[in-house]
Structure 1
Amino acid sequence: MPLTLASLVQHSALKLTVRAGADRLDAPVRWAHASELTDPVPYMEGGEFLLVTATNLDAENPEAMRRYVRRLAGAGVVGLGFAVGVNYDELPQALIDAAEEAKLPLLEVPRRTPFIAIAKAVSSAIAEEQYRAVTAGFEVQRELTRAALAGDGPGELLTRLAAHLDGWAALYDAAGQV
Structure 2
Amino acid sequence: MPPTLASLVQHSALKLTVRAGADRLGTPVRWAHASELADPVPYMEGGELLLVTATNLDARDPGTMRRYVQRLAGAGVAGIGFGVGVTYEEIPPALVDAAEEAGLPLLEVPRRTPFLAISKAVSGAIAADQYRSVTAGFEAQRELTRAAVAGDGPADLLTRLAANVDGWAALYDSAGAVVAAAPDWAARRAARLTPEVEL
Alpha-carbon separation, structure 2, partners of 1:153 and 1:55: 67
Asked if 1:73 corresponds to 2:77, the answer is no
Match of 1:22 in 2: 22
Larger Rg: 2
Deviation at 1:44, TM superposition (A): 0.5
Alpha-carbon separation, structure 2, partners of 1:82 and 1:12: 17
Amino acid at match of 2:103: K
Asked if 1:86 corresponds to 2:86, the answer is yes
Q: How does 1:93-104 map to 2 (within 5 A)?
A: 93-104=93-104
Task: Look up the SS of the partner of 1:170 in the other structure.
Answer: strand
Match of 1:130 in 2: 130
Q: Which has the higher contact order (CA 8 A, sep 6+)?
A: 1
Amino acid at match of 1:20: A
Match of 1:110 in 2: 110
Task: Look up the SS of the partner of 1:6 in the other structure.
Answer: helix
Match of 2:189 in 1: none
Q: Percent of counterpart pairs with the same letter?
A: 81
Deviation at 1:176, TM superposition (A): 1.3
Cα displacement string for residues 77-118 of structure 1 (whole angstroms, at most 9, x for unaligned residues): 011000000000110000000000000000000001000000
Alpha-carbon separation, structure 1, partners of 2:50 and 2:72: 9
Alpha-carbon separation, structure 2, partners of 1:163 and 1:2: 23
Deviation at 1:54, TM superposition (A): 0.2
Amino acid at match of 2:3: L
Amino acid at match of 2:62: P
Alpha-carbon separation, structure 2, partners of 1:49 and 1:92: 19
Give the alignment's TM-score, normalised by structure 2. 0.89
- Which runs of structure 1 show a deviation greater than 2 angstroms over 4 or more consecutive aligned residues? none
- What is the Cα-based RMSD across aligned positions, in Å? 0.5
Alpha-carbon separation, structure 2, partners of 1:174 and 1:167: 23
Amino acid at match of 2:137: G
Matched residue pairs, number? Answer: 178
What stretches of structure 2 of length at least 5 have no aligned partner?
A: 179-199
Give the alignment's TM-score, normalised by structure 1. 0.99
